[in-house]
Amino acid sequence: MPIARLPETGTCGRCKQPLPAIAEPIEADEALFTEVMRDARIPVLVDFWAAWCGPCRMAAPEVATVARELAGQALVLKVNTEEQQGLAQRFQIRGIPSFMVIKNGRVVFQQAGLVRAAEMKRWLQTSATQPHA
């Protein structure tokens, strides 16, 4: 499914059952990340993390909550900094977990450190209401 259509609901072409909007974090490599930056029409939360990072593991359920609760209104990407070192360097990720909000192909917010889902949702909702961000 094209990135621009991920937040939409649809119908399965084969069985005609309804298909919900994506409601879970999406693991992103450089190609997918670039496509999202270019094509996403809704705010995107990016979680930079690593498997060895305790706070990252603590943040994972919070990130999943955001994806579930804002399905159709925002996309949530997870970028493993061990596997996607180029992305981590590109965005100068110095500590993890680190979060970023992208809107219309631009980074509009970035913060490192463990935060709760409510705070992440606030970032996304604030960015969604900002004109031309």
- Is the bond preceding 97 in cis, omega lying within 30 degrees of 0? yes
Phi, then psi, of 60 in degrees rounded to 5: -55, -45
Of 21, 40, 56, 93, the active-site residue reads 56
Dihedral sign from CA coordinates of 6, 8, 13, 18: positive
Of 37, 50, 53, 133, the active-site residue reads 53
Give the integer Cα–Cα distance in Å for 46 and 122: 14
Active site residue 56: yes
Locate all alpha helices (DSSP H) within 2-115, ordered by sequence.
30-39, 54-69, 85-90
Active site residue 15: no
Locate all alpha helices (DSSP H) within the chain, ordered by sequence.
30-39, 54-69, 85-90, 117-129
In which residue are the tokens 């360097």 written?
89
Which residues does the annotation mark as catalytic?
Answer: 53, 56
